[in-house]
Structure 1
Amino acid sequence: MEIKKFNNYKIKWNINSETMIKPGLDRIKKALDLLGNPQDKQKIIHVAGTNGKGSTIAFMRAIASEHKLKYGSFTSPCLIDVHDQIQLNGNNVTEAQMDHAFGQLVNVGISGMLTDFELLTVVAFIVFAEQDLDVVFIEAGMGGRFDSTNVIKQSVAVIPSISIDHTNFLGETIEEISWHKAGIIKDHGKLILGDTLQSSKEVIWKEVNSQNAQLIEINKDFQIRKNSYNYKNYAFEELTPQMLGKHQLSNMALAITAMIETGFILNEENVRKAVRKASLPGRMEKWNDHVYMDGAHNQASIDALVDTIKQYFPNERIHFIIGILKDKDYKYILSRLEEVATSFEFVDFKHERALDATTLFNHCTHSDKRVTKDIHLIDLHKPKKESVTIVSGSLYLITELKGINS
């Protein structure tokens, strides 16, 4: 999948890279060696997992900001274009900073060595290395063990959740997927672990032991009860995230713990302000009074979305605008959403792996459903006033609809 506006830099600087996904670290390690290993110049928190990565990083960014820390972040996928994937203190990387990084790539002759995502990862490390930062937050692109971000010698690792996703690359069982995620644990490092299945924990414990690492686990080593957080000498009260859903309390607790274990001294009032401000596009994002956007696209995230709807909109009529990628379990997604839906609108959107809206229509058993082939006909500024509209199924759908309705 093409990263928006990334090709502009590749063409401008005459650097080639492959668009396909090719797990493995040999290529990117060679490239980083040529550049003097910029990835080793910062304190890093590395986040992998199936769901919750982006939200956990959003909480950490807010906490860093409220404590006047200088930080960088690398996340995926892009929401508008490549510039929002690399951020410095909450601001998108600039064209000048991207050009400077690409200039360094040209100097060491990196063209043709990498995939697009590997190349972008290298660019992010170059950008961060040239800044005076207190901490960098890195989100694994897919999996962990063989993901291009997993070239860091030392980091605090965070795994918010593990469930079935990307089975063509990571395997079809929780144990196989957990093995990939656990690959971000470093020698004598630390892992902050969210709530996971016992079968997943067993795989992670084995990796923790083999790496002589320290496991710090939610509901065991640190707790979040209602809106109170407890860990070591820290006791924070009245923590009220604006991001909806009980799973966000867990992500918040992981973020706080990761910051503490990275060595930062946190202030209760600053943390309280931070979690109120933390937000993430496409995660129960409030578009207006009647429209929310949530990029849920796998079993665990759809389960969380349905729970959130039941909790916050128990007596509301729910209209779904849905678009899903072909490789997702769309039958499960539809069956869960049908539990809370009043009506469905299936839409075609621009992505090479987008599932035809008619296929979704045919597999949906709900009586009130329709297909919109032209996404430009969807006006989010004029939603059904008598119901709550939720756009879901893919972050790529959300990004396109935002562009049309901006």
Structure 2
Amino acid sequence: MSIDLGLDRIKALLEHIPYARPTIHVVGTNGKGSVSSLIEHALLSGGLSVGKFTSPHLVHAYDCISINGQSVSPVTYERLSSHLKSLSVDHEIDASPFEFLTATALSAFEEEKLDVVILEAGMGGRLDATNALPDEVMLITVITAIDFDHQAFLGDTISSIAREKAGVIREHGSVVLGDQSPESVAEVLQAVVEVASQQSAKIIKSKPATRITEGPGNSPSDGDAWEPPAPFQSISLPSLNGDKEIRIQLPLLGEHQLGNAGVAYEALKALRERRPALFRAVSDDSISNGFGSVRWLGRLSWTTIPLPAFPPSEDKDGPPSLRVLVDGAHNEASSQALSSYLESVGLGGGRGHTPRTFIVAFSHSPPKTPEDILKKLLKSGDRVALIPFKQPVEGMPWVRNAWRDDVRRSVTKRIGSSGEIWEPQRHVADSPFLQALHWARRRGETAIIAGSLYLAGDFYREFGIL
């Protein structure tokens, strides 16, 4: 199944759905989910009722639709989506799966009469189904970091991708623009300024939050066992009143989350300015408490899982549990962020360091290749398990695994003759993922899962984590 971008079908579907919730539109290549969650938790901390739509889902199709911090129930999801599918048939709309999902989210939010909705764009911007809503419901537009991804649909230059993302900017609207990479900042800014100027929109450029202190040391000395970092990083942001600073223990890890926190902060300031009556409860305290309570699985997320001996004769000397870092790094920019984080916590790998153990899978998304992701991540001597994520992905029948030969070739190139590649055994009853975890367990106490959010979802399903 191919992806057919356009707004005609979703607009036809929305003609049959009343929707009038004040809405925040979040677009970009990386950081959309983190920024959406930060805004969501700050608004919830201020006492507002909040809906959030993100994509793709992590474990179940309905978990991308949340109301007041909780996923909608499977019953509600099925009821609303079935109604919309009947509408599509009755009116010969032929909506796509993502258009049904977007409309289902909007129906759920309207049904609850929520104070505000945070709507994350899917793949693009200008032609994304989330861009079908009328100007009058859109409060602000948030544009996070823009980088290469989905070039087959969005263009093969940063400028063309940025213009597609900026295509959501509304007339006389407010646009919060996130921190960009040094390599692309000029092109992104030029594209956004051009579109914003055409729409007479106001651009608000954000600044990253400030890290207050480094976490505890994580580079072990000789003979010391490596320990994972603290589950948060201490950051500060300016007070909304300008008289002090907001100190936050942010549960989102990595240098890039400083930028995401800065974007979310500026978005909240812009909301107070645009609709002061609705957002008067946004305060230093609501930002501090909200940002400090964020939970966003699959993004530099540490967890420890117990694994039974398998088979006992091979596992008898293995550790009783496995530390796992799960990160949905699936493009060049996000794999660079993961690599930088690993360096910062003493897991940089390479010559003279303890080999790292990865479990990876990649989606087939030309012109992006596994090599684009792995060149930023793997080093000589690394150990890598190659497994597929489960197909079909619920609600996303067009998603499929990258060709295994391509993945194997790219991994071999990166890890060299001193590295190790493992692939699942078909005759073993356990799932490929569980086999990979047992293999990783026999090689140490820490494994890194990366390459795809669909793979991250498989991990959380395997162990019932959500």
TM range (shorter): 0.7 to 0.9
Decide whether the 8 Å contact of 2:381 with 2:419 is kept in 1. Answer: no
Aligned: 1:347 with 2:387: yes
CA displacement, residues 314-373 of structure 1 (integer Å, 9 cap, x when unaligned): 577431111111223311322221248732222122245212444322222313221323
The amino acid of 1:216's aligned partner reads I
SS in 1 for 2:334: helix
**Separation of aligned partners in 1, 2:442 and 2:203:** 48
Tell whether 2:396 aligns with 1:396: no
- TM-score, normalising length from structure 2? 0.76
The aligned residue for residue 407 of structure 2 is: 360
Q: 1:145 to 1:340 in 2, by over 3 A?
A: farther
* Residue-by-residue CA offset, 1:237-290 (whole Å, 9 max, x unaligned): 322311111111111121122122122243323322222221211101112272
For residues 111 and 245 of structure 1, the distance between their equivalents in structure 2, rounded to whole angstroms, comes to 47
Q: Which runs of 5+ in 1 are unaligned?
A: 1-18
- Counterpart residue identity of residue 26, structure 1: D
Local SS of the residue matching 1:257 = helix
Q: Could you report, residue by residue, the CA deviation over 1:55-75 in whole angstroms, capped at 9, with x for unpaired residues?
A: 111111221222221100111
CA distance in 2, matches of 1:185, 1:231: 28
Q: Is the counterpart of residue 269 in structure 1 residue 251 in structure 2?
A: no
> Of residues 246, 249, 255 in structure 1, which corresponds to 2:255?
246
Instruction: State the SS of the aligned residue for 1:157.
Output: strand
Please tell me whether residue 35 in structure 1 is matched to residue 17 in structure 2. Answer: yes
Q: Return the alpha-carbon distance in structure 1 between the equivalents of residues 259 and 344 of structure 2.
A: 16
| In 2, Cα distance between equivalents of 1:96 and 1:377 | 34
Pick closer, same or farther for the CA change 1:93–1:326 going to 2, 3 Å.
Answer: same
* Structural mapping, 1:126-141, within 5 Å: 126-141=107-122
1:85 aligned onto 2:70: no
Structure 1 match to 2:37: 58
Equivalent of 2:378 in 329, 332, 338: 338
Q: CA deviation at 1:131?
A: 1.4
Deviation at 1:94? 2.0
Structure 2 unmatched runs, 5+: 212-234, 273-278, 305-321, 392-398, 425-431
The CA deviation at 1:298 is 0.6
- What is the CA–CA distance in structure 2 between the aligned matches of 1:191 and 1:269, rounded to whole Å? 24
Structure 1 residues 99 and 333, CA gap change in structure 2 (3 angstroms): closer
SS of 2:56 mapped into structure 1: coil
In the alignment, is the contact (CA less than 8 A) between 1:291 and 1:380 conserved in 2? no
* CA RMSD, 1 decimal: 2.4
What is the percent sequence identity of the aligned residues? 30
Native 8 Å contact 1:361 1:369 kept in 2: no
Letter in 2 for 1:390: I
The residue aligned with 1:329 is 369
Deviation at 1:397, TM superposition (A): 1.1
Shift of 1:202: 0.2
Quick one: distance in 2 between partners of 1:128 and 1:231?
31
Superimposed CA distance per residue, residues 3-58 of structure 1 (whole angstroms, 9 cap, x where no aligned partner): xxxxxxxxxxxxxxxx642111111112212334x2xx111111110000011111
Is 2:346 aligned against 1:313? yes
> Which is worse superposed, 358-367 or 165-174?
358-367
C-alpha deviation, 1:148, in angstroms: 0.4
1:158-237 matched pairs, under 5 angstroms: 158-196=142-180, 197-219=185-207, 224-226=209-211, 227-230=235-238, 233-234=241-242, 235-237=244-246
Corresponding position of 2:394: none
CA contact (8 A) 2:45 2:287 kept: yes
Corresponding position of 2:319: none
Matched letter for residue 179 of structure 2:
D
Instruction: Give the distance between the partners of 1:110 and 1:85, measured in 2 at CA.
Output: 27
1: CA distance, partners of 2:49 / 2:380: 42
**Aligned length, in residue pairs:** 382
* Contact 1:310–1:340 under 8 Å retained in 2: no
**Normalising by structure 1, what TM-score?**
0.87
Q: Which moved more, 1:143-152 or 1:119-128?
A: 119-128
What letter matches 2:437 in structure 1?
D
User: Which letter does structure 2 place at the counterpart of 1:260?
Assistant: K
